[in-house]
Amino acid sequence: MYRRVQPRRGIRGRPYSTQLTPSRLNALDKWINSPDKLVLSDTIGREHLSDLYITLPTRDGTRKPYEEPQDSQPVQYGHHLAFFRPRTPESMLKMDGTDPVLCPPSSPFTRRMWAGGRFEWNNANPLLIGSRATASFSVASVARKGFENGKPMVFVNQKIDIVQEGSLEPSVTEIRSHVYLPENPKPSDKPREGKSSFSEDSAAKSHHVLSQ
């Protein structure tokens, strides 16, 4: 028994280009020319690092004896990420739950993806446990791609300099790269006709062969 294959029907979405109205493009240009800045201060406390250590298999005492963090010790690579968190109310977060600071205008760029990053540690001036430090967040660069072919993306390189009190040079410099994309296009009600590779003629031939 053979069943005729019906042509496939796809769902077409609204092109991204229709979401980039002149007012939205102007808002994006304005943000690029005057991006946000953010400065956060924090104390590199032993208690907070102890909470971090207990979540790390290399630090929680299961592989080797547990060592309590001590004041004036250098902060281990990457552990600064436990500090300098923006305290943004939940009601002010973006639709995907991310912080709105240092992001392009939400409309239509509502989706954020991680694109890469890097760290630079100043071993001659390390970040020390117990110190008071300031993290300065800024937009290092912005690149627009795909706008000419209806697939707009905004690449943002965010720079963070962490400077201890009494120092002029950063102990840690971090670059975070994100790509922002428009919201998913809403599907169209109009079906898209497709071609079937299984025609009535090929079905008849197959039936003839199998009947022999």
Determine the 3-state secondary structure of 161 from DSSP.
strand
List, for residues 68-122, the tens digit of each pLDDT value: 999 999 999 999 999 998 888 989 888 778 888 888 887 788 889 999 999 999 9
Alpha helices (H) along the chain:
22-33, 46-53, 200-211
Cα separations in angstroms, 38 against 16, 48, 79, 92, 163: 31, 22, 20, 16, 14
Report DSSP state, residue 202. Answer: H
Architecture (CATH level 2) of domain 21-181: Roll (3.10)
Report DSSP state, residue 7. Answer: P
pLDDT the model gives residue 212:
54
pLDDT the model gives residue 96:
77
Closest CA to 95 of 211, 181, 22, 210: 181
Closest CA to 133 of 166, 87, 174, 160: 166
Cα separations in angstroms, 31 against 142, 182, 211: 10, 16, 70
pLDDT the model gives residue 35:
83
Dist CA 159 CA 171 (whole Å): 13
pLDDT the model gives residue 189:
57
Closest CA to 71 of 51, 107, 44, 37: 44
Dist CA 159 CA 76 (whole Å): 20
Tens of pLDDT along the chain (212 residues) come to 545 544 444 434 445 555 678 888 899 999 999 888 999 999 999 999 999 999 999 888 888 888 999 999 999 999 999 999 888 898 988 877 888 888 888 778 888 999 999 999 999 999 999 999 999 999 999 999 998 888 899 999 999 999 999 999 999 999 999 999 987 766 555 665 655 554 555 545 544 544 55
Q: In terms of pTM, does the model score above 0.85?
A: no
pLDDT the model gives residue 202:
52
- Distance of alpha carbon 135 from the chain centroid: 20
